[in-house]
Structure formats: structure tokens, C-alpha cells
Amino acid sequence: MRSGSVEFRSVADGSRYASRIGTDGSFTLTDQDGEPRCPAGEYEIVVVQIVLTEDLAADAHQHGGTVPRRYADYYTSGLTTTRGVADTTPLLVTLATGDE
């Protein structure tokens, strides 16, 4: 995936932390005020792919593989994580792209 966004939603209070996904796949979560942070807690995760295809032939698209729609909805994504208070390790979010 070469463009899109990722969002974490707190299971405890529904607060959300989001980021655009960089061309290298990296992201830095920020709160609603734009401050880079994601407090300790349990989170549900969604990933939304942004595909810009305007004025391009189908074979000229450079958006990478298509991400299954189920990852864009908290009810169907199945993606979760728990972050500890002192947890600063990078988080890897892996999506299955085959038929499931």
C-alpha cells in the first residue's frame, strides 16, 4: 500500500489516534489536536487505502496492491493491539490481501 491512513480507537473511551501512511509504510499516530501520541491501552485498528485514479489508465495506477475493504471498518477489521505505559517499540500492522 502506497497511500492511505491508519486509525486506532481506544476500547476504553473511544478516543482516536490517526496518521497518514508514508510511501515507505511508516506512520506516526497523533491525537485530535495533531500532537504525536498514543497513550497506553487497548485499541481497535482500521486501515483505509486512498487510491487516486483520476485521469489514469488502469495499467498506469501506482497505488500498490488493493487493501481488502474489511480493514476499513472497526466491526470487520479484526486488527487490535495493546500498548503498555512505557512501550516505545515500533508497531507493525500486517494486512492479509488474499481471499479470506
Dist. CA 93–CA 100, nearest whole Å: 17
Across 54-79, average pLDDT: 74
Across 65-85, average pLDDT: 89
Provide the pLDDT for residue 95. 81
Q: How far is CA 80 from CA 39, 45, 59, 65, 93, in A?
A: 15, 6, 34, 22, 9
Q: Is the pLDDT of residue 71 over 50?
A: yes
Whether the CB-CB separation of 6 and 19 falls below 8 Å is answered with: yes
Q: Is the pLDDT of residue 19 over 50?
A: yes
Can you give the residue ranges of every domain in the chain? 4-83
